[in-house]
Amino acid sequence: MEFVHPEILWGLGALAIPIVIHLLHFRRFKRVRFSQVSFLKDVQRETKATQQIKHWWILLLRLLAFAAIVLAFAQPKLISMQGTGTSGNTGHAVSLFVDNSLSMQGMGEEGQLFQSARNKASLVLDQYKPTDQFQVLTNDFSGRDQTFLTKDQALERIESIQIGPYTQSLSSVVQRASNQLNKATDRQRTAYLFSDLQKTTHQIPLDAALPDSGIQWLFVPEIAGNTPNIWVDSVWFTEPMRISERPAALQVRLRHNSKTSVDAVPLSLRVNGERVAMGTFNIVPGIPTDTVLRFTLGKPGIQQGTVHIEDAPIRFDDDWYFGYDVVDQIQIALLTSKPNSSVSTSIKRLFSTAQDLYSLTVQTQWTPGSLTERHCIILSEWPIQGTGFANAMEAFCSAGGTLVILPQFEAVDPSLLSALGTSPQNQWMEQSDRVQRLVSEHPFFQHMFDRIPERMDLPVIEAMWDRTLAPQEEALAWTERGRPFLTRLPIGQGQAFLFSTNGDEDQTNLTRHALWVPMVLRMAEQSAAGSIHQGEIGKFSTWALDVECENTAELALEGDQRWLPEVRQTGTELRISLEGVPLDAGHFTLTESGRPLASLGLNQDRDESDHAAFDLLGFESQWYDRGWPSMKLIAATSSTLPQVIQRIEQGTPLWKACVLLALIALSLETILLRAWKQSSKA
């Protein structure tokens, strides 16, 4: 509590006057002689005691009335919260944080949350004097947020704020406001935070730094209504390869925070700006929705896709951008020292009958440049090459390629096995065996057979490679003696398939068996599983892709904006750094001297999509559970906010309450005096 005129409080010393009057107010009695006075003595004793009690009550009420009048002239006011500047405060230093994150697109009782927050920030600013200092802070965390503004400059800054893609945690905002307000040590410091209290950004970590207790922390929450939000979460193709003019199915995952079912929400797909698929979907409370968009792939080359849904009022997450490549053929290289052997002949015949879907190149020698555009490499009767070749194969697989190994009899390359991450310890077993079981539930065999017979005829082996599997290696087929016949080894974005036989007719009937063709074709299909180029701003910091580039200095990201990114090249892999690059959501094409290499889709961070927020009690409990200093939540409308701010900053005046208290005390005194006077007459 404070007083506008504290010097008037000296008037409380006048309370001694009523006390003195009561002490000196002795009534004179006339003496009357009676013969028997014993009864009168008792009456006099009782009457004197009663009069004494009456005097004390009257005294207290008069003291209360007099003190209330003095306090009313001193004009007391109640300060609910008070920043602690120095004793000689020369004004106010005020920080105003306006949450301009994407979730503020939601709707509340006063319209759009962001517009309401901006209006309230202007109303708060109007309650201060032109001589006060102001900081206007947003999620952008730009350099101009770290300077004090005049009142007019702050109003212009608030009006210029727009919704942006950036988000900041509550602890970061509090720390940034504290850093600026601490520069104004000679002023009363106050921080206002206008936000939606969204849980994803307002959850306070246990190790967060404590805010400055010398700052008055005031939150003006903007609570969103019950309108649900639906957003595109991710997309992927069902098939690993994308061949021109062939059908494709794009899987779309949609998430939402709806508590009720919603039917027939529109969904569409555009490729290179042209609509190629449309549909609708239904959502069920509590679970994500997966749907599919079917279309025909276009011409070979770089493609830019956009999935769009119709969902208001939050729009930033209604589009999902992605890039992908379409090829006219799957490029396969057969590395062999015996191009005319039975195994090589079988492989060439296999791919030549596949309706020009595959392009096979047979090589007896290799160079790193000859493998850059290949999707699949098959090693058959390939001699030991050393660590250079082994490292090249590991980089090829890591970038998304597929390697198929038909090991050379008794001459397996230990450097290659080590580079691929499997054990180089192995030996050849010349012993009859037979494939007993296919792991048919593995995705590799999905849709390969219409049905699997109970007693399937499987390949036989006379000599095979006996080795120990790596922990991450997946066995796809087992022999009767419990040895792996075919395995899959995931390596980075790609994979390696390892047979336990070299395919020679003297050792196995594999190349003549009915399984040979579908298995090799499936491996080739999966080799063209080019990745979808997509990511979320702030989470997608490095774009890795396998493309041929002659001069990394000429690389640029081109879209609505053009940037020269930081690039690192490792073998055939390019790593494009997006850290700190201020790109907006949309499509971007990686070019080399104007030649397009790949397309990337960047999307807004989906953390803002679920606008689940703290209720006022929950947020207040969280704040104090962390041991943070006193703060206040102001749940006021635009019409009542100025009065609330005025009471907080100037205090609640209590002089009217003091006048009312004085009147009550005088009224009670009058009532007591009349009541006691009537009782004395009776």
Q: Which amino acid is at 590?
A: L
Q: Is the pLDDT of residue 600 over 90?
A: yes
> What is the SS3 assignment for 577?
strand
Question: What is the chain's mean pLDDT, rounded?
Answer: 84
Give the integer Cα–Cα distance in Å for 503 and 512. Answer: 9
Among 172-176, 329-333, 639-643, 672-676, whose mean pLDDT is lowest?
672-676
| 44 in the same domain as 172 | no
Q: What is the pLDDT of residues 149-160, one digit of tens each?
A: 999 999 999 999
SS (H, E, C) 115-148: HHHHHHHHHHHHCCCCCCEEEEECCCCCHHHHCC
Q: Which of 326, 356, 376 is the last residue of a domain?
A: 326
Q: Which of 603, 632, 663 is the last residue of a domain?
A: 603
Instruction: Tell which residue, 162, 95, 109, has the closest CA to residue 636.
Output: 109
Choose between 469 and 78: higher pLDDT. Answer: 469
The whole-number average pLDDT for the span 463-472 is: 86
Give the integer Cα–Cα distance in Å for 44 and 172. Answer: 79
Give the integer Cα–Cα distance in Å for 275 and 266. Answer: 13
180 near 146, Cβ under 8 Å? yes
Compute the half-sphere exposure of residue 514: CA atoms within 13 Å on the CB side of its CA.
5
Domain count of the fold of the chain: 5
| 192 in the same domain as 238 | no
Place of tokens 């690389």: 555
Neighbour tally for 74: CB within 10 Å: 21
Compute the half-sphere exposure of residue 58: CA atoms within 13 Å on the CB side of its CA.
18
Backbone angles phi, psi at 221, to 5 degrees: -75, 145
Which of the four pLDDT bands, split at 50, 70 and 90, describes residue 528?
A: low
Choose between 66 and 587: higher pLDDT. Answer: 587
Task: Please give the pLDDT value at position 345.
Answer: 92
Helices 38-74, 655-681: inter-axial angle, 10-degree rounding: 160
| 148 in the same domain as 68 | no
In a domain, 427, yes or no: yes
Q: What is the pLDDT of residues 44-56, one digit of tens each?
A: 555 554 455 556 7
The whole-number average pLDDT for the span 629-653 is: 80
> What is the SS3 assignment for 449?
coil
In a domain, 49, yes or no: yes
| 374 in the same domain as 262 | no
Among 101-105, 560-564, 586-590, 648-652, whose mean pLDDT is lowest?
648-652
In a domain, 87, yes or no: no
Task: Please give the pLDDT value at position 252.
Answer: 95
Pairing of strands 247-256, 230-237: antiparallel
Task: Please give the pLDDT value at position 334.
Answer: 93
Q: Is the pLDDT of residue 652 over 80?
A: no
In a domain, 153, yes or no: yes
Tokens of 451: 């049905």
Give the integer Cα–Cα distance in Å for 422 and 523. Answer: 19
Give the integer Cα–Cα distance in Å for 243 and 447. Answer: 18
Choose between 464 and 580: higher pLDDT. Answer: 464
| 565 in the same domain as 502 | no
The whole-number average pLDDT for the span 299-315 is: 90
Give the integer Cα–Cα distance in Å for 58 and 19. Answer: 11
| 522 in the same domain as 373 | yes
Instruction: Tell which residue, 62, 65, 51, 61, has the closest CA to residue 676.
Output: 51
In a domain, 86, yes or no: no
Q: Is the pLDDT of residue 610 over 90?
A: no
Neighbour tally for 508: CB within 10 Å: 25
Helices 516-527, 342-352: inter-axial angle, 10-degree rounding: 70
Choose between 25 and 306: higher pLDDT. Answer: 306
| 255 in the same domain as 194 | no
CATH number, domain at 553? 2.60.40
Neighbour tally for 312: CB within 10 Å: 10
Task: Please give the pLDDT value at position 448.
Answer: 79
| 310 in the same domain as 345 | no
Q: Which amino acid is at 499?
A: F
Buried b / exposed e across 107-118, counting CB within 10 Å, b at 16+? bbeeebbbbbbb
Q: What is the pLDDT of residues 368-426, one digit of tens each?
A: 777 777 889 999 988 888 888 999 999 888 877 899 999 887 777 888 888 888 877 67
- Report which listed range, 25-29, 474-478, 561-565, 612-616, is most confident: 474-478
Please report which helix (H) or strand (E) contains residue 335, including its range: strand 330-336
Among 87-96, 145-154, 234-243, 344-353, whose mean pLDDT is lowest?
87-96
Which of the four pLDDT bands, split at 50, 70 and 90, describes residue 85?
A: very low
* Distance linking the first and last C-alpha atoms of the chain: 48
Task: Please give the pLDDT value at position 225.
Answer: 76
Count, residues in the chain: 682
Domain that holds residue 41: 2-26+36-79+654-681
Alpha-carbon torsion angle 18, 20, 26, 27, nearest 10: -20
Q: Which of 326, 348, 373 is the last residue of a domain?
A: 326
| 377 in the same domain as 506 | yes
> What is the SS3 assignment for 194?
strand
Instruction: Tell which residue, 324, 318, 307, 314, has the closest CA to residue 268.
Output: 307
42-to-37, 38, 47 alpha-carbon distances in Å: 9, 7, 9
| 661 in the same domain as 642 | no
311 near 229, Cβ under 8 Å? yes
Task: Please give the pLDDT value at position 193.
Answer: 95
Backbone angles phi, psi at 148, to 5 degrees: -80, 140
Give the integer Cα–Cα distance in Å for 156 and 130. Answer: 14
Sign of the CA dihedral running 225, 228, 230, 233: positive
> 389: which residues sit within 8 A by CB, 6+ positions away?
366, 413, 415, 416
| 100 in the same domain as 213 | yes
498 near 405, Cβ under 8 Å? yes
In a domain, 84, yes or no: no
Place of tokens 């494009």: 576
Compute the half-sphere exposure of residue 582: CA atoms within 13 Å on the CB side of its CA.
5
Q: Which amino acid is at 122?
A: S
Give the integer Cα–Cα distance in Å for 483 and 659. Answer: 99
By percentage, how much of the chain surpasses pLDDT 70? 88
In a domain, 420, yes or no: yes
User: In which order are the strands placed within the sheet that holds 562-563?
Assistant: 534-536, 595-603, 586-592, 555-558, 562-563
Give the integer Cα–Cα distance in Å for 98 and 121. Answer: 7
Q: Which amino acid is at 545?
A: L
220 near 193, Cβ under 8 Å? yes
Which of the four pLDDT bands, split at 50, 70 and 90, describes residue 196?
A: very high
Task: Please give the pLDDT value at position 26.
Answer: 47
In a domain, 85, yes or no: no
| 507 in the same domain as 361 | yes
Task: Please give the pLDDT value at position 499.
Answer: 92
* β partners of residue 217: 191, 631
Give the integer Cα–Cα distance in Å for 46 and 22. Answer: 20
Q: Is the pLDDT of residue 86 over 50?
A: no
Q: Where are the beta strands (DSSP E) in 529-609?
A: 534-536, 542-546, 555-558, 562-563, 566-570, 573-577, 586-592, 595-603
Sign of the CA dihedral running 294, 299, 303, 308: negative
Give the integer Cα–Cα distance in Å for 232 and 609. Answer: 10
Q: What is the pLDDT of residues 200-225, one digit of tens each?
A: 889 998 888 889 888 999 999 998 87
Radius of gyration of the chain, Cα coordinates, nearest whole angstrom: 42
